[in-house]
Amino acid sequence: MVSVLLAMGTTTAASQSVDGPPATSAVLERLYGTYRYAGDPAAAHATIQKSIEAAVSSLGWLGRKVAASRLANHKELPDRIEIKRKGDDVSVKMGQYSAIAPIDGTERELVGPNGRDSKLSYRLANDELQQFFVFEHAKRKSTYRYNELGQLVMSVSMTSEKLASPIEYELVYAKAAP
């Protein structure tokens, strides 16, 4: 497992309906806002690539090629993240993609950022927003929390029964000026 604090991180876990605090909780209210990437892009790309290579190491050469093409979009670092409330839902927007679902753990079917059908859910736990994508053969969990410097940290973890290890990385973001 390769895990380096770069800017913001995500983790993958099973998605299930979970009763959580209301969408107006203090934790969520504090996370609302727009953030700009504050890390070193070269270091982030290297860390993500190393994690991908470790995860696909058990696959044959053709499997590695297929997996590498499917995971290529994870090398694109979102330069901006926006977390906001949309009615009773939470929206996390990275680039042009918005992931919108209720905060109570209820799954919403949608097309994921990779263009594949998925289920999305959110929940609040341990002073962080947890985002779960469940795909046919993979899961992705992203967590959004503040570090001791007041920066938003996005931690990402992706798992699949076909991968030798999870793909894990963190990216750091600073609050954008209003």
User: Can you give the residue ranges of every domain in the chain?
Assistant: 26-175
| pLDDT over threshold 90, residue 159 | yes
The average pLDDT across 57-68 equals 82
| pLDDT over threshold 60, residue 25 | yes
Question: What's the rounded Cα separation, in Å, for the pair 4 and 2?
Answer: 7
The average pLDDT across 85-111 equals 92
Q: What is the pTM of this model?
A: 0.81
The average pLDDT across 56-84 equals 82
Q: Which fold has domain 26-175?
A: Lipocalin (2.40.128)
Rg, C-alpha atoms of the chain: 16
| Cα distances (angstroms) measured from residue 174 to each of 4, 145, 152 | 17, 12, 6
The average pLDDT across 14-33 equals 62
Lowest mean pLDDT among 38-42, 49-53, 107-111: 49-53
Query: Which strands make up the sheet holding 80-86, listed edge to edge?
Result: 97-102, 89-94, 80-86, 33-37, 167-175, 152-159, 139-146, 128-134, 117-125, 108-111
At 75 the pLDDT is 67
**Residue 78: alpha-carbon gap to chain centroid:** 11
